[in-house]
Structure 1
Amino acid sequence: METLELQVGLNQEYKINVATKLNVLLADFQIYYMNLRGLHWNVKGRRFFMLHEKLEELYTETNEVVDEIAERILSLGLQPLHTLEDYLEHKTIRVSKNISNGDVGVAGILDTLKELLIQERDILESASNNNDEGTASLMSDLVSDQEKLIWMLTSYLS
């Protein structure tokens, strides 16, 4: 039976490097997910119903992204982070807490998305340079979706 390295056609050094970056991204998406849940639960004000619904949509989508990133790491033959300790140790975004003002929460989401985009573009460049279509495709989809979300949330705050 062929090794996973031969099956996916990527060298081990590259896979370790990109999986390390993907694990940081995974940790950040887990923190982002929890930030969205907290805001969903705690948001107050005149726009409550609209924001409550939108935040549920965002955390549901984010949960799917978490799964896709973890499965990509597994596809590369490596192990995704999977404990809260690991996520907190490897995260680069901040944990938001006790935010009930919708505009403050949306501004925080925008800040997080901008940070995630930096990581995703870095991973996309690395994946493209190493003929890693699976990772490149995942990052490309994330970038496209988040650019659109940034436009929408920026319009909301305007």
Structure 2
Amino acid sequence: MVLNSIGLDKKMTVELANDLNQLLANFQIYYQNLRGVHWNIKGKRFFDLHVKFEELYTDANMKVDLIAERILTLGATPLHTFDDYNKAAKVPVGHNVSRDEEAVHLIVNSLTELLKIERIILDKSGEANDEGTNSMMSDFITEQEKTVWMLKAWLNEPI
């Protein structure tokens, strides 16, 4: 096994960086969805959702930076073009979403996809003894599970 400068298996870090790039691409689409619903939300719940979506996109923007910096820490290059993001993303893209429930469903569906990717990375980073990536994924998952629960409660739907 060949180790890199931070003591991780080089082969495993390449795979983790690739997975993190997939997560980065999906987070960028999620972020754009949040910006879109923040800008376009209409109706009686405008004030509450407008503020909530801003809170979520601010958080997503910070996470995008954390993911990109972790990719760099592992010795790889983060994806950084919309073309790359669109090719790698599985998160649904929201087009002109302005209705409250449709917007919240879009965010829940996006978070569900992010959680799937993050759990894969969590498992792989554990196997690689990559505590930095593992800790980041654990934190993301914990926070996003709570967000999904809250949004599902707002929708009056079971988790």
User: Conserved in 1, the CA contact under 8 Å of 2:28 and 2:64?
Assistant: yes
Unmatched runs of 5 consecutive residues or more in structure 2: none
What is aligned with 2:57?
A: 59
What is aligned with 1:91?
A: 89
Q: Tell which deviates more after alignment, 89-98 or 18-27.
A: 89-98
Q: Does residue 13 of structure 1 match 2:11?
A: yes
What is aligned with 1:142?
A: 140
Unmatched runs of 5 consecutive residues or more in structure 1: none
Q: Any idea what the Cα deviations from partners look like across 1:114-144, whole Å, max 9, x if unmatched?
A: 1111110110000011100000000000000
2:31 to 26, 30, 33: 33
What is aligned with 2:45?
A: 47
Q: Which stretches of structure 1, 4 residues or longer, exceed 6 Å deviation after superposition?
A: none
CA distance in structure 1 between the partners assigned to 2:14 and 2:44 by the alignment:
48
Identity level (%): 51
Q: Any idea what the Cα deviations from partners look like across 1:37-87, whole Å, max 9, x if unmatched?
A: 000000000000000000000000000000000000000011000111111
**Following TM superposition, by how much is the alpha carbon of 1:6 offset from its aligned partner in structure 2, in angstroms?**
3.3
Letter in 1 for 2:92: R
CA distance in structure 2 between the partners assigned to 1:116 and 1:108 by the alignment:
12
Q: Does residue 82 of structure 1 match 2:80?
A: yes
TM-score where L is the length of structure 2: 0.95
**Following TM superposition, by how much is the alpha carbon of 1:89 offset from its aligned partner in structure 2, in angstroms?**
1.3
Q: Tell which deviates more after alignment, 5-14 or 97-106.
A: 5-14
CA distance in structure 2 between the partners assigned to 1:116 and 1:80 by the alignment:
17
Cα root mean square deviation, aligned: 0.8
Letter in 2 for 1:66: V
1:7 counterpart SS class? coil
CA distance in structure 2 between the partners assigned to 1:71 and 1:6 by the alignment:
17
How many residues are treated as equivalent by the alignment? Answer: 154
